[in-house]
Amino acid sequence: MIIFPAIDIKNGKCVRLYKGDFEKITFYNKSPINQATEFFQSGFKNIHIVDLDGALQGKSINFAVIKEIIKNVKLKIQIGGGIRTIESINSWIDTGVDKVVMGTAAVENIGLLKNACNKFKNKIAVALDIKDGLIALSGWKKQTNISAIDFIKKIENIGVSRIIYTDINKDGTKKGPNIKDTIELSSKVKIPLVVSGGVSSIEDVKKIKSLTNSNIEGVIVGKSIYDGDIKINDLVKLI
């Protein structure tokens, strides 16, 4: 199972949100490059980066900061946040990222998603941010009435490499991930799922890792690392 430590970037700094609320934001002292370096030196192979300014504005805002990480840290990086054009995807692929994560653009324009999957084989992931079973868009500001399972069924055969499934009600709360709904969803779809939102302890990660018969490929761990609830050295042992 892949463990993705997370770096969310706003105004060039490491942050975490509470339930996706930009009014409930915590800034952390380490710069994104220093945090990425720590993850790399600790032994992680993958990292999950979100450009929160990009998610709000619909275009990559922290490109220079993230490019610096890519240049200096030899990790498989999956990047999301405001990536809504083929040109933007292409620029990230050219910098050397492992996966480009589409969210709002994928849901609002399946044709664009198909085009991206055809052009960049095995490089496109889709982030679905879910609240009460329904997809939210635009940095979680826009609630739709589209169910997660219905949307995944629509895109199942176009070449999406993974789905990042975030339960907004859990994200940043450290109250445990929504494993039940994620397992249920993973049993109904073919695309591998990555669990995101609410991971509070090393036991949560172990529980997800133990789900060997599921379609769950990995887990994203964020706030619990930054707040010290999960020690990096303990987490890296589970890779």
Active site residues: 8, 129
- Euclidean distance between CA atoms 37 and 43, whole angstroms: 10
Determine the residue type at 87.
E
Q: To 5 degrees, how large is the angle CA 60–CA 65–CA 69?
A: 115
Q: Which two tokens stand for residue 132?
A: 């009460």
Can you tell me the distance from the alpha carbon of 80 to that of 238, in angstroms, rounded to the nearest whole number?
Answer: 25
148 C-beta neighbours (distance < 10 Å), count: 20
Secondary-structure breakdown of the chain: helix, strand, coil percentages, each rounded to the nearest 5: 35, 30, 35
Beta-strand relationship, 124-131 and 134-137: antiparallel
